[in-house]
Structure 1
């Protein structure tokens, strides 16, 4: 089978998912060092996402979780991770496939990754066409975390 080009985008996407998997494995084994904490935004509509019905109703498209002070049962496999988080003193288990990830940010060291979705090529550009659920605050990570664009260091 002959290829017409190298799939750099797909290779980079898989490499970034592998990096996050490695980071989460380290945290599962050793805990979060120092001030490190993560804001992970994912598409709740993606196949394989498992979460409580009430959370899915509240976040029908996208959700940002914070891994910081209290989390349990962090288990990572090839396709994603399981974690139990505390929502208003209610522990809720969830499953997040790596393919559902949209952003991963560790604001303590100003590190972040943004995953471009394959579907976004077919969607309309993200113009400011009025407020939607992403602009009303609850999903936005506190603390002013920044997604670091890798283009910044490209010559």
Structure 2
């Protein structure tokens, strides 16, 4: 076997990250329709505030221009889970707000009560809207990663 590293023509890292982001959606769908989590569960969800599809109040973007972490535990409402995003009502300084967060914007999902965590890569390329252009017969999406990494951090450790 050769020591040289070959570039894959299959975007394995993107496929795995999309699958793990679907885990977040599935977990959230378990609590959809409730206004608190069972037992000691609580979720820390970190996301890019400027990512496409994120819809949060302007005062939150001003306070968190790059990344923000929300906590879902006892005080949330109207959790709605879709295939590519979720929305939830939270209160910030006693001001109620509805946040819409695409799974693609999430950088971390943690439930510390059971030592479960997922960490995702969101590259600057994901943040920029593509330049408009005319379709060409040879248009093919290019798949590159910013740092060449194909590692997704997953922690399935048990709480002791």
On whether the aligned pair clears a TM of 0.5, the verdict is yes
Give the structure-1-normalised TM-score: 0.73
Higher gyration radius (CA): 2
- Could you say which residue in structure 2 is the equivalent of 1:145? none
Aligned length: 126
Deviation at 1:117, TM superposition (A): 2.2
How far the C-alpha of 1:101 sits from its partner, in A, is 0.3
User: Partner residue of 1:107?
Assistant: 112
1:10-29 paired onto structure 2 within 5 Å: 10-29=14-33
Aligned to 1:63: 68
Structure 1: 5+ residue stretches without partners: 124-147
Structure 2: which 5+ residue stretches go unaligned?
A: 1-7, 126-144
Matched, 1:37 2:3: no
Determine which structure has the larger helix proportion and give its number: 1
Structure 1 residue ranges, 4+ long, deviating more than 3 angstroms after superposition? 118-123, 148-153
TM-score w.r.t. structure 2 length? Answer: 0.71
User: Which digits, 9 at most, give the CA deviation of each residue in 1:95-144, with x for residues without a partner?
Assistant: 00111000000000011000012438547xxxxxxxxxxxxxxxxxxxxx
